[in-house]
Structure 1
């Protein structure tokens, strides 16, 4: 109601008003303030109504932008088409020019995805075919030995050296 004023701020304002106008003139000053606020609100609503009548009933904040106002009320459809047609043709040219690039990127993405899937399938197949110990793909017993020594217990520094 009081726009972020707390109780103490409101009390201070009342005390200042009493000191400035005194207890006998304060009711009249508050009545004058109330009339002023009422007139200001009426002026604002009248201005909005006048603006609504002049511009139209469907006022939007973006319509009050000068560029939008000029575009909406001064330019004809032919003028707008004349201004936007070069931009539209440029956009079409850009879209047509980027189609091969887009298709190439899509093809490259598909190729990478296919390669990734085949590598994953190959790693899964090699890891489960029983070659070497511990499912490794190397088959070298010297490389598999540390894994065998640490099986079932935590690895220590001595196992690595």
Structure 2
């Protein structure tokens, strides 16, 4: 966190802390450090207890639900079995959206007698298909 601060910002924060807390600043810093230390100890003991209960080695990063399930509850085969049907749905949806997009492009080109469907529209009163085609060509 402190690596994002330059020297002047750090000095400014220190002066602000001195103005707010005055002579109590060392006690406030000590209390803050004690709080951080206690939170780390609680997290460490929680991961140790969880590791002991599950019989696996759990790190603090593994407590994210997705990472926990992926690493400790599912085998690679089970994970692939879960992903396979979802991947098929994703591929089908992507191909459908691509088909609709191509059809909209064709309609925009066919509906424009001047052949300007590929250029950005100058007014806001253009047809939606023309706006889709011009946006797609611009990106």
Superposition TM-score tier, normalisation by shorter sequence:
0.3 to 0.5
TM-score scaled to structure 1, two decimals?
A: 0.37
What's the TM-score, normalizing by structure 2?
Answer: 0.42
Higher Rg of the two aligned structures: 1
Larger RCO of the pair (alpha carbons < 8 Å, separation 6+) = 2
